[in-house]
Structure 1
């Protein structure tokens, strides 16, 4: 099914299309929200994202990919929750969602950041290292290296210039490399 047909079905309130939307995007949105929302509120935030998608799908004009639009909604909801509850750096990327755990480990191991080392690290070490990054750095690495999004898509989602995405991602990876080296994992 093409993206255009899928969007058309969503706009027609097709229940199968909404089911497919949830199955495909819930784990991805969950991963984004974990950068902003504490564990107790994540289900509420996830529900809010899907409510906004359902309410807003008829206004989707197709100027970007559907996934980019959905991620933008997820980031905005996450930021709203973050502001609302004024949390500090307690929020972390928790990749332990059982439905995406293996995919995330494989995707992380395929990044440009010490491929050989990451393949040998156990899952908890990866989580601990990622937690040392600030939430924007974690989100950048997640979107690019785990979810495989383009730099342009990330720029649109995060509402920052393309050059800033590349620069911040470079420094986030450099920082991650440094944490790996400090942990004597290389």
Structure 2
């Protein structure tokens, strides 16, 4: 039994302290993903907190037949998407000083420090929510198509099509506006 499964078992048997290990393992990655969905630091914090509460309350429903991370992301992303669908939430573009809201030593933050990364962030932000989420899960969180399909509860073919469509839109934007990502405009 790996460490993560041990924590889950401990939580399920009443050791609430073990849940802290799960939160610490996933909080930065989950926050970074949700922040990119909401584009608002406070809302991202609220959504992540709500997601961890939901996961805790439903931990007994997790079946160890798939990765725990996929299940956790699905709960968090479904929570965000439900809020979007209910029109309780609207995204507003804000400038975020990620060094102040996320661990500055996190690999994603280091990656985002240079201008090329900021341009890519702006490029991804222009995509519709579902396509942006697929790009983030695939390239930022390094998930495979099957994991994304499971998290988003859509067929594998939909993941592939939306990923292809998102990259095509990004290529068209780069062709139109120029910038660092000339390799995208050449079909890369």
Fold equivalence (TM over 0.5): yes
State the 1:37 CA deviation.
7.3
Match of 1:80 in 2: 82
Residue 93 of structure 1 contacts residue 138 of structure 1 at CA under 8 Å; is this kept in 2? no
Match of 2:15 in 1: 14
Kindly provide the CA deviation profile for residues 63-93 of structure 1, in whole angstroms up to 9, marking residues without a partner as x.
3211111011101110222234444553689
State the 1:19 CA deviation.
1.7
Residues 1:25 and 2:26 aligned together: yes
Matches of 1:9 and 1:124, distance apart in 2: 41
How many equivalent pairs are there? 176
Match of 1:169 in 2: 163
- What runs of 5+ residues in structure 2 fail to find an aligned partner? 183-188
Match of 1:148 in 2: 142
Matches of 1:171 and 1:95, distance apart in 2: 30
Match of 1:99 in 2: 103
Kindly provide the CA deviation profile for residues 160-181 of structure 1, in whole angstroms up to 9, marking residues without a partner as x.
0011111111111222222233
Matches of 1:138 and 1:7, distance apart in 2: 31
Matches of 2:132 and 2:119, distance apart in 1: 15
Matches of 2:137 and 2:14, distance apart in 1: 28
Q: How well do the aligned residues superpose, as a CA RMSD in angstroms?
A: 3.0
Distance 1:54-1:145 versus aligned 2 partners, 3 A rule: same
Secondary structure of the corresponding residue to residue 67 of structure 1: helix
- What runs of 5+ residues in structure 1 fail to find an aligned partner? 109-119
Which structure ranks higher in relative contact order (CA pairs < 8 Å, sequence separation ≥ 6)?
A: 1
Kindly provide the CA deviation profile for residues 101-143 of structure 1, in whole angstroms up to 9, marking residues without a partner as x.
86226778xxxxxxxxxxx743432222122111111110110
What is the TM-score with the length of structure 1 in the denominator? 0.78
